[in-house]
Amino acid sequence: MEIQLYVYDLTNGMARQLSQAYLGIQIDAVYHTSLVFGGIEYFFGAGVQTCRAGSTHHGRPMETIPMGSTQLPLEVILDYLESLKQVYTPESYDLFAHNCNNFTNDFSMFLLGRGIPEHITSLPKRVLDTPFGQMLRPQIEAGMRGTVQRPLDEQNALPSTAARNGTAHGAEGSAQRTAISTNGNGMTGNRTYGSVIGAKSLAELERHLQGAKETAATVFFTSSTCAPCKIAYPMFDTLADRYSNALFVKVDVNVAQDVGAKYRVRATPTFMTFKKGVKQDEWLGADPNMLKGNVERLINTVFPPHPHTSLKVPTLQYGSLKPVTYSKVPPLDKLMTKLGNAGHDPQLTILKSFIETRNKDAREAPLPNLHAISQKFRNKVLSLPVDVRFAAVDLLRCATIDPRVSGYFAEERAPALIPTLLKHINDLPTCPHNLRLVTIQLACNMFPSPLFIREITQGSTDLLQELIQLVTRSLLDISHPSVRVSSAWLVFNLATTNYRVRREEEQEALAEAEQVELAASIVETLGSETNEEAVKALLLSLGFLLYCGPTNGEVMDLCRALDVKKTARECAKMKGLTDLAGEVGSLL
């Protein structure tokens, strides 16, 4: 996909004419930039905005610069764009410190591994370095605000899903997704619906019913002249949305008269339900509550609810699934000193400056060249004496708190830094505990990025295996409680990632063998762990691996064989863990 940089002059030529007289320096334009690909223009003003290329209120660009091409999938790009929205909010806009060009530079860094031309990003500093620039800053900002933060005209703005569905790419729309849903008893159904389907003939209705022979179906026989039918419409639509693995069909018998004759519909509204192709119930009347009750009873017979849903386990039902991260920034000067001569390396110095600036105000911290930093770590940092490598990794950990950085490294193509680093640590014959600790914490900091989750669940199995190996080895470090605690929270991040996919997408993110490996390490560690924070994290992790999982799966079998109920009772003796331990035990 080809990327272009659109460059605009916010002053329409006035900067070139008047800058020398007012500022004492010559500037060619007050730049506004955007990135364009797939027929869509992406820029920062009133937040991150998108429109059809060339349709912004800034008119025609003064220059269009080919930036190169990216092989990244559109879904990945748009997920990263979501992470940029956390930093580039409407309220954070600052004409001199946090503007459209900073956004474009960061976005370009992700897409292409390099930023936009330096003469554009350096312009604010050049202006503020002049006495008149400093003096006129408030007036310039006030005068430009209406232009740079003006909302898009309604006819030009794209809906939030347009880019993801390819609307401006000439596509006809995204294909309907079909996923396999699995409940606790191993039953499956094609999840292909999610809305009411209309049928205008007997042949069309029977084709839909034939396609629903492995699921549940509800048919609403209505007519355009049936006033009471309108009472049931909202509930029917709601049920179709809620139970997207079942078929909901609406038939107007005045239009499809052959349907009325075949199914002997004498009045409207009439409802019929089918279980795996076999008719179950039929009733008359527009009672929304009766409709809801009958449909839910049908759904529960076709897809029996998981037995865990009837348990009282509030921590697992309502507890936070937010990834645990490590954001504390140590004294960076001391960290650089520990690196010795490597502390003077330009790329590490730039990374340190980025962290310092971001720690004060993220708006004033444009991304450094992450591609160059990645190369430096892979080619030099991992060759440093083993006892000082932790300082460089800790520096990287501090940077990954920024979603732009974690998103970049999550989607970095081979040779990617994060998998390389994890493998390096796992392959060391003897790994210093401080290096292992900061690597675990760095891994935790990657989990808020949806791109990292995608990479774990759909991408690199090597990355997931390195994470699991790091966890299972680190939990056995009996000499360093801090390593075990951090490892326990890394397990928690992995377990909750799998649990979210299980509940939201009705499938497993981690393979059964991977879940078994994690569960075995958790149970083994719980048997001897005395640190309350570590025990809490491990109990939560085990709970989320078990909760609403396959009732006859290997994880459940393992936990029963290892008598996890007894282990949970022992953990319940710890102050503050009684309820959580009881919840985990009740899952068995």
Q: Known catalytic residues?
A: 32, 100
Cβ contacts of 160 within 8 Å, gap of 6 or more: none
Point out which residues pair with 81 in neighbouring strands: none
* Cβ 78 vs Cβ 163: under 8 Å: yes
Residue position matching structure tokens 């030099």: 380
CA distance 146 to 427: 56
CA distance 184 to 575: 33
Q: 280: part of which helix (H) or strand (E)?
A: strand 278-284
Cβ contacts of 236 within 8 Å, gap of 6 or more: 196, 218, 220, 248, 250, 291
CA distance 299 to 276: 11
Burial 219-251 (b: 16+ CB within 10 A, else e): bbbbbeebeebeebbebbeebbeebbbbbbbbb
Burial 107-135 (b: 16+ CB within 10 A, else e): bbbbbbbebbbeebbebbeebeeeeebee
- Omega before 269 cis (within 30°)? yes
Tell me how far CA of residue 204 lies from CA of 20, 248, 338, in angstroms: 74, 13, 73
Cβ contacts of 464 within 8 Å, gap of 6 or more: 456, 510, 514
* Cβ 33 vs Cβ 4: under 8 Å: no
- Omega before 415 cis (within 30°)? yes
CA distance 80 to 208: 38
* Cβ 507 vs Cβ 501: under 8 Å: yes
CA distance 330 to 434: 14
Helices 532-546 & 512-526, crossing angle to 10 degrees? 150
Point out which residues pair with 268 in neighbouring strands: none
Q: What are phi and psi of 50, to 5 degrees?
A: -135, 145
Amino acid code (one letter) for 129: D
